[in-house]
Structure 1
């Protein structure tokens, strides 16, 4: 199953079935990198070709890498390589939406149809942000190496993907349950464009990237190539074999490219109160429990408006949003005050089995937990 912004959650449902059986190179600034390096190496030991982790705390900034940039390369992981961030961009879209709410240009409890006539009069903007809309995703993707080769240059428009989903009845009445929905965020993308009268990424650039100086953040567009520097991307479709899936058009028509430094600055600024007024940041952190299927993957997780909260082993909770797209997996975490953060990017998706997906996630979570609790 393709671990993309679109399809990774579908594989997570299978993870729940096996959970009970399974579980009854560095730079530093005034900090000890050895525990972090150990955790990065542990991710690599699972079969991940290359790992980069960036941790920022009041004690300093640390970047470590483990493994190599490509299965057939001896080149080290680039310390600030570009990668497709997939669903991690949901947090950025949510920030733009909540900024528009603060400016009185958009209402959280307004119906989607007000902004996008002909869509739905049952779902609100808040439902979309919190994944409580009941929308049934019907989105394309590849599940084998052959399908990757056949489909890697396919271009899907936002309008096409929304139309596919809107043909299905809702899985539940809006606001009565929770289910991860990628189409919900495509609708939000369209709403932002309708309200601002400019392309979605232009709003991200003006409201987030520009003010924070994120010069390497950018739209994925329809190019199958990545900016330099970058590592190769790999996917495990079958146990014991990896396929290089670097060259592909992003399955997310509004996809974003970034580096770990970009995501570090973004999440620290967000939780530190630099991107939203206090009222909107508080609303963003009003979270609800995720589905039991996803809770097997993210234990005790709760979903706010474009943010996931998880319990810290040392007390309290941390925030972030993970993502997976075509061989790149991103795991993030930031403390509630924005003072400490951890971003992990992996150039391999161990997606052949639910066990592989779960083990990779938990190894990355251990790194994040150690970094934030140090």
Structure 2
């Protein structure tokens, strides 16, 4: 490449870099480039300064007592400080609990991963395209091609209040793709798995989760719904552009960070399973998850290199999902701080 050509390439790259910066929210750039604090608490304080109303972090590192952290507000109106033991809406982290339940039911012979949606819910044949081809394995692995009800236009403006109403949003729609041909994350898959478990069990599947998972792990601060708890124990949730506290809206499971952390360690070390169940689980689902519902974001991960579970809850969401990316950045910075003092990496 001659010198004039190299100069043109450099100019083009510079122009492209400058242009791209106009499309990256500066708050994310700032979060990324700030000097890394020395402590987890300082990092949480920084997260609040960058726009979260409140943040909770739970760290369970092997060989140490579990650590609880919080910063910011639990509730704007009352100016109550964030409580690391507060209940929180965990969104799609609940899929981990449902996947464990499916694995247990498959192992006991009450479910089959190779049976189809039409086998279990025959009334949906002709209403959900390819119902006779879509297996439970495809649904749990997000490879069904069923449309995602939360992706329907305007969904979060006035979300339905029941599984049936959610399901009706996608009935008779064409499939997004042929079953098994692609991966596409889809909440409808887990809505249908819940309905199938209810049908097979003859009672609500959450009762099975309570008996086979929560009781086994002695988890006392995990619930099917915000409607089952005193809302004073629930962290408030806020969505940018919406003036009201969202904590009374029923959006699935609620739990403390500690309970989620205990469950996640048991999931990763296998103690939540009986013999033979973990092999089934490992073939169908993952060992970490994130969650999002309006007002509530959550990250639950196990880090093998430091043998640590780190749970992060943030109670401010926004329409453009900037705070989703900001939560990822804050979580990554927390890990750097934790790893600096971990005996596993010293």
Asked if TM exceeds 0.5, the reply is yes
| Aligned counterpart, 2:256 | 259
Counterpart contact for 1:333–1:342, Cα < 8 Å: yes
Match of 1:184 among 180, 189, 203: 189
What is the Cα-based RMSD across aligned positions, in Å? 2.9
Does the alignment pair 1:129 with 2:140? yes
Matches within 5 A, 1:2-41: 22=24, 35-41=39-45
| Aligned counterpart, 1:331 | 299
3-state SS of the aligned residue for 1:165? Answer: coil
Structure 1, gaps ≥5 residues long: 1-17, 25-32, 287-303, 308-318
Match of 2:180 among 159, 175, 183: 175
Structure 2, gaps ≥5 residues long: 1-19, 30-36, 125-130
Does the alignment pair 1:244 with 2:244? yes
If the length of structure 2 is used for normalisation, what is the TM-score? 0.78
Which protein is richer in helix relative to its size?
A: 2
Counterpart contact for 2:146–2:189, Cα < 8 Å: yes
| Aligned counterpart, 2:223 | 218
Q: What is the rounded CA distance, in whole Å, between the counterparts of 2:93 and 2:306 in structure 1?
A: 17
3-state SS of the aligned residue for 2:312? Answer: strand
Match of 1:160 among 153, 157, 165: 165
3-state SS of the aligned residue for 1:118? Answer: helix
Does the alignment pair 1:55 with 2:66? no
Quote the offset at 1:118 in angstroms.
2.5
Match of 2:325 among 358, 363, 370: 358
| Aligned counterpart, 1:107 | 112
| Aligned counterpart, 1:292 | none
3-state SS of the aligned residue for 2:197? Answer: helix
If the length of structure 1 is used for normalisation, what is the TM-score? 0.73
3-state SS of the aligned residue for 1:333? Answer: strand
Aligned length: 304
Provide closer, same or farther for how the CA distance between residues 262 and 135 of structure 1 changes in structure 2, counting only shifts above 3 A. Answer: same
Counterpart contact for 1:334–1:372, Cα < 8 Å: no
Per-residue Cα deviation, 1:76-104 (whole angstroms, up to 9, x for no partner): 11221111111110000000000011111
Counterpart contact for 1:214–1:262, Cα < 8 Å: yes
Match of 2:50 among 46, 57, 71: 46
Quote the offset at 1:361 in angstroms.
2.7
Q: What is the rounded CA distance, in whole Å, between the counterparts of 1:190 and 1:63 in structure 2?
A: 36
